[in-house]
Structure 1
Amino acid sequence: MKRETAMVASTIQGILAGRRVLYTGAAGGLGHQTTLEMLAAGAEVFAIDRDHSKNERLMADTPPELADRLRLVEMDLTDGPALEAKLAEITQNAPLDVVINNAAIYPSKPFEDYSMEELRLVHQVNVEAALICTKAALAGMRDQGWGRIINVTSITLTGGWENLAPYVQSKGSLLGLTRAWAREFGKWGITCNAIAPGAFPTDAERIHPDPEGYKKFVLDHQAVKRRGTPHDIAATVLFLTSDGAGFITGQNIAVDGGWNMS
């Protein structure tokens, strides 16, 4: 990871200089590399993740010269009051410039087998945490007349998967919020976009009983015949958070190798 970060640093250095970024799920499969590349681009990153081992790995992979701008926040997003308190602390003296709502849980079983508690838990992590994070950052973004919000949705919204009802529901909610926030916040210089990752080889794929069969299924559906990498997501995030993307808002950008072309 350190080598890959060093390779991209020369092209992205300074893109996010001085920007303060809040990133949920920052140490996970897609978040890890994006966090490193945002640090290389000059950002101060408040990386929220509940997984201690992944947080330790992220810290270990962060080059020493960038480590002073990495703020690891280890917490469970289901604790709304604790999240609100932490965000109040983070924004007390300076605004957040970028919010990336990425954290999600991904249970898989037939819809009738979910309890209402399980359905609420998915919504709590995947949607309510995004509401809290965005609300906490909004006033500062509005006051400075600049802000970037990115919601991570999913290719599953196309309807090609079963047994993921609460996850798909949560991602549909984020897509709706993306469009509502883009319309409402645009007058303040704030953009809001979504990124819909395709089938990336992360921990989420462990739910599939036949890994090789699933890999073939993915490549058969993609126009680009390789698996996606976390850098593919990081590059999209960096573009959408840059000044150059200031006229793009309310969009759901598929990063999926050409799987969905709607």
Structure 2
Amino acid sequence: MKVDQHPWAGRSTAELDALFTGRQNEWWDEFYANRTRPVPFFGPQPDENLAAWVRDGTLAPGKALDLGSGNGRNAIFLAKSGFDVEGIDYSANAVEWAKQRAREAGANVRFTQASVFDVSIPPASYDLVYDSGCFHHMPPHRRADYIALVAGALKPGGWLGMTCFRPEGGSGLSDEEVYERETLGGGLGYTEARLRELWSGAFTIVGVRQMQEAPQGGGVFGKSFLWTMLARK
């Protein structure tokens, strides 16, 4: 699709953001309001891929930024593994929960409630940026901005770890339908080819694989409707 054919062509970023922001504010705070809901990633377990990368030494302790940190499960795992961790999440309820969980776990994590686009992130200051489900909630017109933000946050040679919806895990909406309906429908699914196309301009893709299914209540979180991706700046 050519640039002038994008469904968001000719409209400002602020105008396009406004199509989703109000709904996101309410939706995410309501989503995290009830901590007892049977949501798979409401548990304390870190992503299986992240745990594997840390435990096999692929990711060595350093300064880490967890984007879309939710209830803090991955940020807390990283902190307990020796990383200096900051987390950012859109939902005030999620951040409150994450701070409580970090205190209970004795983990030192600095959590901020904000859109990732509203936070001043010092350039080239992180060894690891981790994203567990943030990217697939980006409206299409924000994809390039988000990729640039992640790349800009990392030091040369820094790592990006990510999980996001496979096609069967997402809403099934096309970019055009996102703007027609003014919703992401719970998140967008990506093919492996599309993920590589989007991220390979700023990163060297080390690997993309299907997330391994993990039993509920086990030591790690894993759902097969997600991709995991590891990339290096």
TM range (shorter): 0.5 to 0.7
Alignment partner, residue 132 of structure 1:
149
Q: Does structure 2 conserve the Cα–Cα contact (< 8 Å) formed by 1:23 and 1:45? A: yes
Q: How far is the alpha carbon of 1:60 from its aligned partner?
A: 0.7
Secondary structure of the residue aligned to 1:62 is helix
Give the structure with the larger helix fraction.
Answer: 1
Task: Say yes or no: does 1:149 pair with 2:179.
Answer: no
- Residues 61 and 129 from structure 1, CA distance in 2 versus in 1: closer, same or farther, beyond 3 angstroms? same
Q: How far is the alpha carbon of 1:95 from its aligned partner?
A: 2.3
Q: TM-score, normalised by structure 2?
A: 0.52
Amino acid at match of 2:221: D
Alignment partner, residue 59 of structure 1:
99
CA distance in 2, matches of 1:178, 1:149: 10
Q: Please show how residues 228-239 of structure 1 align to structure 2 within 5 Å.
A: 231-233=220-222
Q: Does structure 1 conserve the Cα–Cα contact (< 8 Å) formed by 2:90 and 2:113? A: yes
Task: Say yes or no: does 1:21 pair with 2:64.
Answer: yes
Q: TM-score, normalised by structure 1?
A: 0.48
Secondary structure of the residue aligned to 1:42 is coil
Q: How many residues align?
A: 167
Q: Does structure 2 conserve the Cα–Cα contact (< 8 Å) formed by 1:26 and 1:48? A: yes
CA distance in 2, matches of 1:75, 1:41: 25
% same residue: 13
Give the structure with the larger strand fraction.
Answer: 2
Amino acid at match of 1:23: D
Q: Which runs of 5+ in 1 are unaligned?
A: 107-120, 184-190, 199-223, 234-239, 241-247, 251-262
Q: How far is the alpha carbon of 1:226 from its aligned partner?
A: 4.7
Q: Does structure 2 conserve the Cα–Cα contact (< 8 Å) formed by 1:44 and 1:71? A: no
Q: Which runs of 5+ in 2 are unaligned?
A: 1-41, 176-187, 223-228
CA distance in 1, matches of 2:45, 2:189: 32
Residues 177-227 of structure 1: per-residue CA shift (max 9 Å, x gap): 4434444xxxxxxx75556547xxxxxxxxxxxxxxxxxxxxxxxxx6956
User: In terms of Rg, which structure is larger?
Assistant: 1
Amino acid at match of 2:73: Q
Residues 103-148 of structure 1: per-residue CA shift (max 9 Å, x gap): 1465xxxxxxxxxxxxxx61255553232122232xxx22xxx421
- Residues 20 and 194 from structure 1, CA distance in 2 versus in 1: closer, same or farther, beyond 3 angstroms? farther
Alignment partner, residue 111 of structure 2:
72
Instruction: Work out which of the residue numbers 105, 127, 152 in structure 2 matches 1:97.
Output: 127
- Residues 3 and 135 from structure 1, CA distance in 2 versus in 1: closer, same or farther, beyond 3 angstroms? closer
| RMSD of equivalent CA atoms | 4.4
Secondary structure of the residue aligned to 2:221 is helix
